[in-house]
Amino acid sequence: MADVAARARNSARAAALSRVSDALWRRPSLLLLALVVPPLLWLGIVYLGSLFALLAHSFFSIDEFSGLVKYELTLKTYAELFRASNFDILVRTILMASAVTVAAAVVAFPIAYFAARHARGRWKAAFYLGVMLPLWSSYLVRVYSWKLILAKEGILNWVFETLRLTWLLEAYLSVPGIGGNSLSVSWTGTFLVFLYIWLPFMILPVQAALERVPPSMLEASGDLGARPGQTVRNVVLPLALPGIAAGSIFTFSLTMGDYIIPQIVGTSARMIGQAVYQFQGTAGNIPLAAAFAVVPVVVMGFYLTLARRTGAFDAL
Amino acid sequence: MTAAIRLKGVSRHFGSVRAVDDVDLEIREGEFFSLLGPSGSGKTTCLRLIAGFDQPTSGAVEIFGTDATATPPYRRPVNTVFQDYALFPHLNVRENVAYGPKVRGDPGPVRRRLADEALDLVALGGFGDRRPSELSGGQRQRVALARALVMEPRVLLLDEPLGALDPKLREQMQGELKALQRRLGIAFVFVTHDQAEALSMSDRMAVFNEGRVQQLGTPQEVYDRPQKPFVADFVGSSNVLPPEMVERLTGKAARASLRPESIRMGSGGVSGTVARRYFLGSATRIEVASEGVTLNVLLPKGSEVPATGADVSLVWEADALHVMPGDDHG
C-alpha cells in the first residue's frame, strides 16, 4: 500500500516538474528572465550602486575645521584635483599606465604570435602553463620577489656585476625621473613589476585574436607579393588589433587602479590608487578619494571612445 | 609551347605520410590543367608546392624554365585563388583587390584603377566599397579571382574554388572560369575532387591517388582509356572487371574497364540478376549481380527498366571493354 502511495506521489511530482519545463519551453523569454535577473540584481545594486555612491560622494566636500563631510553639491573637490601635488599624481599614473600598456603590447605580441601560429600540442600546453602559472601564485609574493630581484643586493645587480656592466646600470640609475638609488626604489622598477604582473592579461586576448586568423589569410598576402614584414604590418597587426585593444583595457585600467605595487616597489611619490587609499583611510577625506577614483573611469571612457574611433573594434 | 610549370621528381613527406610521392608533371603555357583526386590524394599539396607555401622534401619545381624550389611565394610569378577565398576582413572589396599593387608600391590612383578594372573583369564593378562580409559566396569567389588576376599572373592556381558554391551557381561559374581562361590566355591549374568538373573544363588533367599521378592526359583519354582500375572507378565510376572474367570474354588475363552507359539489355550476353535500382531523373542506374561481380548499368530515360530480382542478359560493343595495362600500385 505504502509503495503505491509513494509511486503516486512521485508521478505527481514528475508531472508538476514537466508542467514547469513545458511552460518554460513554450515561453523561452521566461527562462531567460529567470537566468538573467539574479546576476543583473547583483551587478545593478551591489556594483553599479556602489559606483554611483562613489560618484555622488565626489560632488560633496569636506569641512576643513570639523573634518566632516558636508552634504552639499559642489565642484570644489574636483578643483582640488588640479592642485599641483594632486595633479602630479594624475599625470604620473596616466603616464605609467600608458607606458605599461605600450610595453605590454610590444612584449606580448611575439609571444602570442608564436603561441597562435606555431605552437602545437606540448608547446601549446607549455605556453598556457607559462602564461597562467604566475596567476596561480599570490600577487603579493610575486611583487615582493621582484623587490628582491631589483634590490641593490639582488640578482639583477649581481648579473650586471658579473658581466662587468655595473657602470651601465649606474649610468641608467643616475637619469633623473626614471632612475634612483637602486632599481627597486625607482620608477623603472615600478614599471617592470607592473609590466610583469599584467602581461598575461595582454598575451591572452592577443593570442585569441591571432588564433582566429586563418593561415590562408597570411598565405594570400605572401601570394600577392607581400614580404613577411609587409604581411605583419598590413594583415596580422590589423587583425590582432581587437585583441590588443582588449588587452590594453586590462593593462591600462589595472595599472591605473593599483595601489600595492607602487607602495612596495618604487619611489615615495604616489599613484592614484595610493592616493585613494590614503584619503579615504588615514586622511578621512572621502570626497577627495572619490574624486580621485572617478579619474580612471573618465580616462577609460575617453580611451574606449578613441579606440572605437580608430576602428580597433571593426574586425570584431 | 613551353612548360609553364614543371615538377621534377617532387616529393613532400609529412613524417611517415607521403602526401606527394615522386611526381613528375608538366603544365603548358595557356592550358587549363586540372589536378583531380579524392581528398588526401596530394593534389592540394602539389598546388601549394607550386605556389611556394610549402617546400618539397625532394625534387625540383620549375616555373617558366627557372628553378623556383627555394623561391618564396612573394617572388613567384603565380597567384592563387584559395578554397576559403581568404579575403581580408578589415579591407573593403576594392582594397582587397588592390592589395597586391599596394605592397608592390603602385601609387594610389594606379592601384584604384587596376582594382576597378579587375572587378569589372569578374562582373563586380560597383561593389568596390562593400565589405567581404556583405557579399554572397559567389561574389566573394569573384573578388578572390579579381584579387589574383590584378597581378596579371601567367599561371593562376585555383584550389577547389567552386567547392563551397551550390550546384546551380557552380555550373555557372564553371562556364565563366573557362571563358575567362580562354580570354586571358594564361594557364589555370585547377584543383578539384569533382570528376565531372575536371572532365568538362580541362584541356589536360592529372588524376591523383595516394600522392602519385595515376594518369595524365586529355579528358577524353582519361575517360575512354583509363590506365588503372583507380582511374576507371574514380573518373566516371566505371565497372572494373576481374581478370578471370576478362580472360573468358577476350582471352587476355587483365582487368578491364567497362562504362555503365556502354552496357545495354540484349540476349546472348552476360547473364545476371538485378539487385537494386536507382532512379536518377535523366536515367536509371541498376546494379546487376553476375558471377560474383556487381555491374553498374546506366539505362537512359525511355528504355525499359527491369524489375528488381529479374534475370537479365547484358551486351556491349566489343570496343567498350577497355583492358587496362596497369594496376593501382604499378
- Do residues B184 and B285 both lie within one domain? no
**A44 reaches B (C-beta below 8 A):** no
Domain that holds residue B244: 239-323
**pLDDT tens for residues B231-252?**
999 998 889 988 888 888 888 8
Is the model's pLDDT at A163 over the cut of 60?
Answer: yes
- Do residues B53 and B145 both lie within one domain? yes
Is the model's pLDDT at A316 over the cut of 60?
Answer: no
Q: Strands (DSSP E) along B88-232, which ranges?
A: 155-159, 187-192, 204-209, 212-217
Cell 535577473 sits on residue: A37
Grid cell locating B108:
594610389
Among B225, B145, B214, which Cα is nearest to B186's? B145
Number of domains in chain B: 2
Chain B hits for A235, CB-CB cut-off 8 Å, are 88
CA distances from residue B155 to A130, B127, B145, B147, B182 in whole angstroms, order as listed: 46, 26, 13, 14, 13
Task: Band the pLDDT of A42: cuts 50, 70, 90.
Answer: confident
Considering the domain boundaries, does residue B290 fall inside one? yes
- Do residues B122 and B254 both lie within one domain? no
**pLDDT tens for residues B281-329?**
889 999 999 888 899 999 998 888 899 999 999 999 888 888 888 766 5
**pLDDT tens for residues A293-308?**
899 989 999 988 988 8
Average pLDDT on B14-41 reads 93
pLDDT at B187: 95
pLDDT at A179: 79
B187-192 and B155-159 strand pairing: parallel
Considering the domain boundaries, does residue B330 fall inside one? no
Average pLDDT of chain B?
Answer: 91
Considering the domain boundaries, does residue B89 fall inside one? yes
CATH number at residue B190: 3.40.50.300
Considering the domain boundaries, does residue B314 fall inside one? yes
Size of interface A-B (CB pairs under 8 A): 64
> Per the CB < 8 Å rule, is A219 touching B82?
yes
The answer to whether B144 and B87 are in contact (CB under 8 A) is yes
- Do residues B167 and B296 both lie within one domain? no
**A233 reaches B (C-beta below 8 A):** no
pLDDT at B251: 81
- Do residues B225 and B114 both lie within one domain? yes
| Cross-strand partners of B207 | B36, B215
> Per the CB < 8 Å rule, is A214 touching B84?
yes
Domain boundary among B216, B232, B248: B232
The answer to whether A60 and A69 are in contact (CB under 8 A) is yes
**Shortest CA gap A219–chain B (Å):** 7
- Do residues B53 and B99 both lie within one domain? yes
| Cross-strand partners of A26 | none
Considering the domain boundaries, does residue B329 fall inside one? no
Chain B hits for A224, CB-CB cut-off 8 Å, are 74, 79, 99-100, 103, 147-148, 151
CATH number at residue B246: 2.40.50.140
Query: What's the CA gap between B156 and B32, in Å, rounded?
Result: 10
pLDDT at A283: 75
**Shortest CA gap B20–chain A (Å):** 20
Task: Band the pLDDT of A45: cuts 50, 70, 90.
Answer: confident
Largest separation between any pair of C-alpha atoms in chain A: 95
**A260 reaches B (C-beta below 8 A):** no
pLDDT at B1: 55
**B329 reaches A (C-beta below 8 A):** no
Grid cell locating A96:
605609467
Task: Band the pLDDT of B219: cuts 50, 70, 90.
Answer: very high
Is the model's pLDDT at B113 over the cut of 90?
Answer: yes
**Shortest CA gap A131–chain B (Å):** 29
Among B152, B174, B178, which Cα is nearest to B77's? B152
**B111 reaches A (C-beta below 8 A):** no
Query: What's the CA gap between A202 and A194, in Å, rounded?
Result: 12
Residue B187's SS3 state is: strand
Which of 175-234 (B) contact A at CB < 8 A? none
- Do residues B228 and B243 both lie within one domain? no
Query: What's the CA gap between A34 and A101, in Å, rounded?
Result: 39
**B148 reaches A (C-beta below 8 A):** yes
CA closest to B159 among chain A residues: A216
Cell 564553371 sits on residue: B174
Grid cell locating A138:
599570490
CA closest to B86 among chain A residues: A217
Residues whose CB falls within 8 Å of the CB of residue A106, separated by 6 or more in sequence, listed in order: none
**Shortest CA gap A243–chain B (Å):** 14
In SS3 terms, A58-69 reads as HCCEECCCCCCE
Domains of chain A: 2-58 (no CATH), 83-309 (1.10.3720.10)
Grid cell locating A54:
562613489
Chain A hits for B131, CB-CB cut-off 8 Å, are none
Chain B hits for A225, CB-CB cut-off 8 Å, are 74-75, 100, 103-104, 151
Average pLDDT on A106-134 reads 90
**B72 reaches A (C-beta below 8 A):** yes
pLDDT at A24: 86
**B73 reaches A (C-beta below 8 A):** yes
> Per the CB < 8 Å rule, is B73 touching A234?
no
CA closest to B80 among chain A residues: A223
Average pLDDT of chain A?
Answer: 88
Chain B hits for A314, CB-CB cut-off 8 Å, are 90
Considering the domain boundaries, does residue B42 fall inside one? yes
> Per the CB < 8 Å rule, is A225 touching B86?
no
Domain boundary among B189, B212, B232: B232
- Do residues B204 and B220 both lie within one domain? yes
Among B5, B1, B2, which Cα is nearest to B188's? B5
**pLDDT tens for residues A189-240?**
999 999 999 999 999 999 999 999 999 999 999 999 999 999 999 999 999 9
- Do residues B152 and B16 both lie within one domain? yes
Domain boundary among B170, B197, B232: B232
Q: What is the signed CA dihedral for B252, B254, B260, B263, rounded to 10 degrees?
A: 10
- Do residues B151 and B251 both lie within one domain? no
Chain A hits for B55, CB-CB cut-off 8 Å, are none
pLDDT at B330: 46
Chain A hits for B79, CB-CB cut-off 8 Å, are 223-224
pLDDT at A46: 86
Is the model's pLDDT at A1 over the cut of 80?
Answer: no
CA closest to A228 among chain B residues: B74
Chain B hits for A213, CB-CB cut-off 8 Å, are none
**Shortest CA gap B79–chain A (Å):** 6
> Per the CB < 8 Å rule, is B90 touching A217?
no
Grid cell locating B166:
551550390
**pLDDT tens for residues B64-92?**
999 999 999 999 999 999 999 999 999 99
Average pLDDT on A164-169 reads 88
Considering the domain boundaries, does residue B138 fall inside one? yes
| A227, A230, A235: residue with CB nearest B88 | A235
> Per the CB < 8 Å rule, is B100 touching A224?
yes
Considering the domain boundaries, does residue B37 fall inside one? yes
Query: What's the CA gap between B68 and B73, in Å, rounded?
Result: 9
pLDDT at A137: 87
| B89, B90, B103: residue with CB nearest A224 | B103
Task: Band the pLDDT of A182: cuts 50, 70, 90.
Answer: confident
- Do residues B13 and B120 both lie within one domain? yes
A169 φ/ψ angles, rounded to the nearest 5 degrees: -60, -45
- Do residues B173 and B245 both lie within one domain? no
**Shortest CA gap B55–chain A (Å):** 14
